[in-house]
């Protein structure tokens, strides 16, 4: 583990860019986020609710339980955050990895849904891309039209 300790910062919403070694905690949105402690730069989002992760605050330190398994990233790192310390844990098997990947997706969806709900918004649909004419194509079209005109005359 490149990151041995993590610094908790309490925020309302996550910043666009995460800083290495910081655990962003949004109690309002019941979510925490940090960059993978191996140093790979992978963004790790964890839901803070009794069914997922429990955040324990003790004298300026935080602990997250259970452990964090980053199977979506090449590093597949697995660690505990205990009193701001990053403690490496053992590997999981393939079945467990699949379950964790599903959970990670749901956690991200949960965060987005809660943020949208608190902001009084319904989730926005992705804009439908409009077909763009490339200048090369329209230019070619004009040339062809011009040549056709020439032929006729
Ligand atoms: Zn990593």
Q: CB-side exposure of 30: number of CA atoms within 13 Å?
A: 17
CA of 75 to the centre of ligand 1 (A): 5
Two tokens, residue 127:
């804009």
Confidence at residue 127, expressed as pLDDT on a 0 to 100 scale: 54
CA of 112 to the centre of ligand 1 (A): 23
What CA–CA distance (Å, rounded) separates 53 from 150?
A: 74
**Per-10-residue mean pLDDT for the chain, 153 residues long?**
95 95 95 96 91 91 93 89 94 75 83 84 56 56 72 65
Report DSSP letters for 43-80, one per residue: EEEEE-STTS-EEEEETTEEEEEEEEE-TTSTT--EEE
Confidence at residue 125, expressed as pLDDT on a 0 to 100 scale: 55
- Whether 8 and 23 have beta carbons less than 8 Å apart is answered as yes
Domain extent for 45: 7-118
CA of 33 to the centre of ligand 1 (A): 14
CA of 70 to the centre of ligand 1 (A): 7
Confidence at residue 147, expressed as pLDDT on a 0 to 100 scale: 75
Does 143 fall in a domain?
no
Confidence at residue 2, expressed as pLDDT on a 0 to 100 scale: 93
CA of 44 to the centre of ligand 1 (A): 9
Q: Which residue has the tokens 């956690």?
A: 107
Does 127 fall in a domain?
no
Confidence at residue 123, expressed as pLDDT on a 0 to 100 scale: 52
CA of 39 to the centre of ligand 1 (A): 6
Does 98 fall in a domain?
yes
What CA–CA distance (Å, rounded) separates 109 from 130?
A: 27
CA of 43 to the centre of ligand 1 (A): 9
Report how many domains make up the chain. 1
Does 138 fall in a domain?
no
pTM above 0.85, yes or no: no
């Amino acid at each position: 583990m490149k990151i041995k300790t993590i610094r908790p910062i309490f925020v309302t919403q996550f910043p666009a860019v995460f800083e290495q070694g910081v655990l962003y905690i949004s109690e309002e949105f019941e979510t925490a986020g940090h960059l993978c402690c191996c140093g790979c730069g992978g963004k790790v989002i964890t839901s803070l609710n009794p069914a997922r992760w429990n955040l324990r605050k003790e004298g300026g330190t935080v602990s997250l339980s259970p452990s964090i398994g980053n199977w979506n990233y090449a590093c597949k790192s697995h660690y505990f955050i205990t009193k701001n310390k990053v403690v490496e844990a053992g590997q999981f098997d393939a079945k467990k990895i699949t379950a964790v990947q599903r959970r990670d997706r749901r956690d991200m969806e949960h965060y987005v849904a809660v943020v949208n709900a608190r902001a009084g918004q319904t989730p926005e649909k992705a804009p439908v891309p409009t077909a763009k004419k490339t200048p090369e194509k329209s230019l070619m079209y004009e040339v062809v039209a011009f040549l056709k005109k020439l032929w006729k005359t």
